[in-house]
Amino acid sequence: MNFHSPESIRALVHRVIAQDQPPIVQLGDPVLRNPAAPFDGQLDDSELAGLLAVMRKAMQDAPGVGLAAPQLGIPLRLAVIEDVIPQPVEVAELRERPLLPYFAVINPMYTPIGRETSSFFEGCLSFSGWQAVVARSRSVQLEYLTPEGKNVTRQFTGWPARIVQHETDHLNGAIYIDKANTRSLVSSAAYSERWAQPGIELAQRSLNF
């Protein structure tokens, strides 16, 4: 794992905050493939707030439902999550995808609850243009710190559980494609044209996975 001093991290953060639209790092950059450093005060309150604000805007502009700090080149265990675009009823029900108001997580860690899994297509802002089916724990317990320093433990089920697993994995140097069924890998254009049903059954039959 690459070592980053607090000074170098602060310099990276200041550079990102100064940009109007910081680019989202794409697969191939080492920052996405190394565990991020635990946040332990490398940034002061205003710097942390500024970084989280930039991360939230980048997530919304993309658009996406989550963004981890390494996706902006910052090797810290921080992520922002927000899923507030209403979905068609059949999609929301099958995928268990309720609205998920914005929140930020610091040093998150998830633990599966039970053995039940669910499988759906996923995409990633750092692997732009592709989607693949990933089997994930249907329910997880997430432990994290809030930006105010409060310890929180929350349980998530369905799509929110998928989001928190995806973003926490980023902080461990993992990308969804590492866990995906690679036979299901499709371009985003093909997904929109052929496989955007609420479930994955048609894709399974047609793509033989």
Question: Is it the case that residue 34 has pLDDT exceeding 70?
Answer: yes
Report the pLDDT averaged over residues 181-190.
98
Q: What is the DSSP string of 136-161?
A: EESEEEEEEE-TT--EEEEEEESHHH
For 115-164, how does the pLDDT look when each residue is reduced to its tens digit (9 = 90+)? 999 999 999 999 999 999 999 999 999 999 999 999 999 999 999 999 99
- Known catalytic residue at 193: no
For 51-73, how does the pLDDT look when each residue is reduced to its tens digit (9 = 90+)? 999 999 999 999 999 999 999 99
Per-residue tokens: 135: 């089997």
Residue 6: the pLDDT is 87
Query: Helix (H, G, I), strand (E, B), or coil: what is residue 61?
Result: helix
Binding residues for Fe cation: 124, 166, 170
> H or E element: which one contains 82?
strand 78-83
Residue 1: the pLDDT is 44
Question: Is it the case that residue 3 has pLDDT exceeding 80?
Answer: no
> Please, what's the b/e burial string for 35-57 (b: 16 or more CB within 10 A of its CB; e: otherwise)?
ebbebeebbeeeebebbbebbbe
Question: Is it the case that residue 167 has pLDDT exceeding 70?
Answer: yes
Q: How many angstroms separate the CA atoms of 14 and 60, rounded?
A: 20
Residue 73: the pLDDT is 98
Q: How many angstroms separate the CA atoms of 202 and 110, rounded?
A: 31
Q: How many angstroms separate the CA atoms of 122 and 176, rounded?
A: 8
For 82-115, how does the pLDDT look when each residue is reduced to its tens digit (9 = 90+)? 999 999 999 999 999 999 999 999 999 999 999 9
Binding residues: 124, 166, 170
Residue 57: the pLDDT is 98
Question: Is it the case that residue 2 has pLDDT exceeding 70?
Answer: no
**Domains, the chain, with CATH or none:** 6-207 (3.90.45.10)
Q: Which of 82, 167, 193, 201 is catalytic?
A: 167
pTM for the complete prediction?
A: 0.96
Residue 11: the pLDDT is 95
